[in-house]
Structure 1
């Protein structure tokens, strides 16, 4: 397992609650020299094994959605992003730098690049209170959604994780977070604390303008290319919309479905669980695919760079 810097008593002592910390709206970067001391993740880590797996794409709506259901983060995206004009373009620009923080040869540089990009992102929410993207409570929430994605997608669509593996992924996520060079005062210290933190954050979800817009394709149907006649697209898109309204909606937490007005029922839940069981059963087949087919490009390149075949690693619970 990749070494993870130990948390000191001082680190625990300065932790504050979300409501208290978020209203400070103060950026809290940490010294770059301290960030350089962090041991980056490597091929022996579970995060390397699972984060870049192509099956992670099944959790794209859970990742982007949960992030933007917190009012301050949703407003930050609304105020400072081009999501309403170029949704796919924003996703393509945001995803690779975060993945490179895990898989590149210089994760520290990529982590600091992401941090510095967020320095000017600040504003106010509906009640007049301020937010800042580098406020620890807000920045950690964004990171937590990626940690959840690794845990949820792996356990649901790849293979069941043991409790020890969930603990390990969480511990590795602490090293991952420190690469960004932002205060970790709001970070849970154990996996059990992370689960409690996650459940509490779900209860804070609101229908931000960002998330309502971003889930419109689910409620209205996937928009078709202009060159395809609408009647033709209605036929072609039917199975895509059925998949979206079952598998994609099924991956998001109930609290998100509620605030976004996404329909769900017991029949859809059964279909989702059936699909998940089939995906897990096919895991041995997936692990016979070429690395370039099994992993996203940044992860595939990293595995080739270190000369390790990930298909033989961590394929059964510890």
Structure 2
């Protein structure tokens, strides 16, 4: 039987992403944190055909990841080949100086350092929301999850030698990188990251759910990331965050398993559909601006 690269019942990565409360949050956080590397931001967001519909792009990425998380090896391999073909077109140079990176700095989807950064922000976001909403992982489980994420990165073409060998090494590297001088937000990245984190398209009547979502997302960002985005963090925000986490944890425990586990593809598609409808009606959610465009800060 083709059980996929992450077999049910044996893969911790699969168990983590089988939790819908993880699937509904981790992608936005990963993109917001990932945008702190200007090469990553320009190489993914700006070169994407989804500039006018960033949540459609997020849906495509999340669906591709879920195919690898949950699919058979045959299904995963088809998706990996498709992503590989798309990545072949992603390369270039920074048009403008961005923090520590001068104009002309190259970027490419297959740059091992940038591939590691993408895996790192995805892993860190998945771990963060699992431990917030489900339970804290043991040291051994954190190690297992990181090793499976290393394999996940290798499936997409990341050289295994690029990634920290153990979870403690990863944590030291990642936390040090966030605190370092190489983290920089261009005006476009700051605008886009805030929009992706706090402007998720929801249907009418979902205002309470959006306020809950935004309170949790703000609190789940590392302090350094909130600082770079210019997001306030006061005692009232901390209280809202703790209350929001408690609501989600309690709801997860009370809801039937059929609602709390499995693919989030339907939810991703619904979000993209709301974005598409708003764009059609002339009420678009914040779009990724053109490089060099004047950008005000979206709400959040």
Q: Which bracket does the TM-score occupy, shorter chain normalised?
A: 0.7 to 0.9
Could you say which residue in structure 1 is the equivalent of 2:215? 246
| SS class of match (1:161) | coil
Q: What does 1:125-204 correspond to in 2, within 5 Å? A: 125=94, 126=97, 127=102, 128-203=104-179, 204=182
Query: Separation in 1 of the partners of 2:86 and 2:253?
Result: 40
Summarize deviations over 1:224-279 as a string: whole Å, max 9, x none.
98xxxxxxx8xx67645643542121111222212222221122113212332443
Question: Which of 162, 182, 185 pairs up with 1:207?
Answer: 185
Output the TM-score relative to the length of structure 2: 0.73
Does the 8 A contact of 1:108 with 1:180 survive in 2? no
Q: Deviations over 1:165-196 (max 9, x none)?
A: 11111111122222123323320100001101
CA distance in 2, matches of 1:295, 1:223: 22
Conserved in 1, the CA contact under 8 Å of 2:36 and 2:185?
yes
Assess, with a 3 A threshold, how the Cα gap between structure 1 residues 161 and 117 changes in structure 2: closer, same or farther: same
Kindly provide the CA deviation profile for residues 134-188 of structure 1, in whole angstroms up to 9, marking residues without a partner as x. 0100011111222112211110111121222111111111222221233233201
Q: 1:137 to 1:247 in 2, by over 3 A?
A: same
- Asked if 1:275 corresponds to 2:222, the answer is no
CA contact (8 A) 1:257 1:263 kept: yes
- C-alpha spacing 1:217/1:79, structure 2 compared with 1 (3 Å): closer
Name the counterpart of 1:261. Answer: 230
Question: How far apart are the structure 1 equivalents of 2:119 and 2:78?
Answer: 17
Q: Find 1:95's aligned residue among 62, 67, 74.
A: 62
d(CA) in 2 for partners of 1:293, 1:165: 21
Gaps of 5+ in 2: 267-300
- CA 1:223–1:179 in structure 2 vs 1: closer, same or farther (change >3 Å)? closer
> Residue 43 of structure 2 contacts residue 90 of structure 2 at CA under 8 Å; is this kept in 1?
yes
2:16–2:126 CA contact under 8 A, matched in 1: yes
Change (3 A) 1:224 1:94: closer
1:1-20 equivalences under 5 Å are none
Which residue, 255, 259, 262 being the options, matches 1:295?
Answer: 262
Q: Which residue matches 2:79?
A: 110
1:81-139, CA deviations, whole angstroms, 9 ceiling, x for partnerless residues?
Answer: 13431112111222111211121112233233323321121112221211111010001
The residue aligned with 2:20 is 54
d(CA) in 2 for partners of 1:46 and 1:224?
Answer: 31
For the aligned residue pairs, the C-alpha RMSD in angstroms reads 2.8
Cα distance between partner residues in 2 of 1:156 and 1:293: 15
* Rg (Cα) greater in structure: 1
Partners of 1:62 and 1:253 within 8 A in 2:
no
SS at match of 2:184: coil
Aligned counterpart, 1:67 = 34
